[in-house]
Amino acid sequence: MTAEGVADALLTWLSSHCNRWAGEYVSLKEFAGDDETLIQRAEDAAWLLQERGHVWVLESYVCSVAITDGGLHEADRILAERGNHGARFSFVLDQLIARAFASPDGAVRLQMFVATTIYLGEHLDVAVVLRAARSLCDYGLAVATPTEGHPATLTLTSRGEHCAMSGQKVNKYVSDQIPAAAGPVFTQNVYGGTAAQGVNVTQNVGVQADQLADLVQQLRGFAVTLPPADQEDFLVDVEVLEDAEQVPQARLSAGQRIMLALNAAPGAQAIAELVGQIMGALGG
């Protein structure tokens, strides 16, 4: 773990360990234990945090640190950002592309990626990495080589190489390659005037922001009825569906998985119909 990754972990740990009291000095040994390597990285992280005004460092054989009021606010921000599943997913997409592009063979080993990649001081869940790898394959940016039925290596395609060289985030790059999706088409009959027999009129109607916000609230309420092991993946899909900056393909895929969960649950048909309407708007 780099000093940057340790800094986020140390700051959130301090906030919790000190019960959100600023100014209380704590030995880094309490954070790192007897791991000399981690103690050294924690000291490097502490000096980095002091430069940012997030802690005070007291030098000794093993440094002690005290979190500042600014550090408490930053710890709160990190914790809130960790809960943003859409941001975490986008981070993994971008890191997979960057890591593969930096390797001599244009490939990234997923097991090593999981072991060495840190998001705001936390290790990534394997499930999130596998889903991101699958999305990159769906976008045509990479191909996966499986081992025992699971993707083990992700190799960039020529399109993936262009994405990496563009300097854009994956969602932005893919979005730029896809024409904007039209809204759903509704047909209505108009009578009177010159339309004595009635004529068909079509119009495109996009997704209303308040409709989407209401649906997202209902989906998050539904999530608590799912088994704990399924809740996080479901909430990730909800955030992807909600995020207008996600590419249409990603939002449609998330919507399809949400529909599967809803269709398997009794009494969720009304919510499923709303999801179907949103997906229709995204797909045109």
Report whether 65 contacts 25 (CB < 8 A). yes
Residue 185 pairs in a beta bridge with: 204
Please say if the pLDDT value at position 184 is more than 80.
Answer: no
Asked if 163 contacts 141 with a C-beta cutoff of 8 angstroms, the reply is yes
124, two tokens: 């990534």
pLDDT at 179: 46
Range from 19-28, 44-53, 132-141, 176-185 that averages highest in pLDDT: 44-53
Average predicted confidence (pLDDT) for the chain: 82
pLDDT over 70 (residue 284): no
| Alpha carbon distance 159, 97 (integer Å) | 11
> Which residues, listed in sequence order, are joined to residue 150 by a DSSP beta bridge?
147
d(Cα 210, Cα 228) in Å, to the nearest integer?
29
Least confident of 45-49, 74-78, 193-197, 251-255: 193-197
Question: What is the rounded distance in angstroms from the CA atom of residue 151 to the CA atom of residue 169?
Answer: 23
Report which of residues 199 and 265 the model is more confident about. Answer: 265
Contact yes or no for 249/272 (Cβ under 8 A): no
Is the confidence at residue 92, as pLDDT, over 90? yes
The pLDDT assigned to 206 comes to 47
What is the percent of the chain where pLDDT is above 90? 36
Tell me the mean pLDDT in the region 199-208: 42
With tokens 């309420």, the residue in question is 221
The mean pLDDT of 247-274, rounded to a whole number, is 80
Q: pLDDT tens, 33-91?
A: 988 889 999 999 999 999 999 999 998 888 999 999 999 999 999 998 888 888 889 99
DSSP assignments along the chain, one per residue: --HHHHHHHHHHHHHHHTTT-TT--EEHHHHHTT-HHHHHHHHHHHHHHHHTTSEEEE-SSS-EEEE-HHHHHHHHHHHHHHT-HHHHHHHHHHHHHHHHHHSTTSEEEHHHHHHH-EETTEEPPHHHHHHHHHHHHHTTSEEEEEETTEEEEEEE-HHHHHHHHHT--HHHHHHHHSPPPPPPEEEEEEEETTEEEEEEEEEE----HHHHHHHHHHHHHHHTTS-HHHHHHHHHHHHHHH-TTS-HHHHHHHHHHHHHHHHTSTT-HHHHHHHHHHHHHHH-
Q: Which of 96, 154, 137, 135 is nearest to 240 (CA)?
A: 135
Q: Residue 253: what pLDDT?
A: 84
Q: Is the pLDDT of residue 226 over 60?
A: yes
Q: Report pLDDT for 2.
A: 75
In one-letter notation, the amino acid at residue 262 is L
Residue 162 has pLDDT above 60, yes or no: yes
Q: Are 160 and 144 in contact (CB under 8 A)?
A: no
- Residues whose CB is less than 8 angstroms from the CB of residue 248 and which lie 6 or more positions away in sequence, other chains included: 175, 178, 181, 282, 283
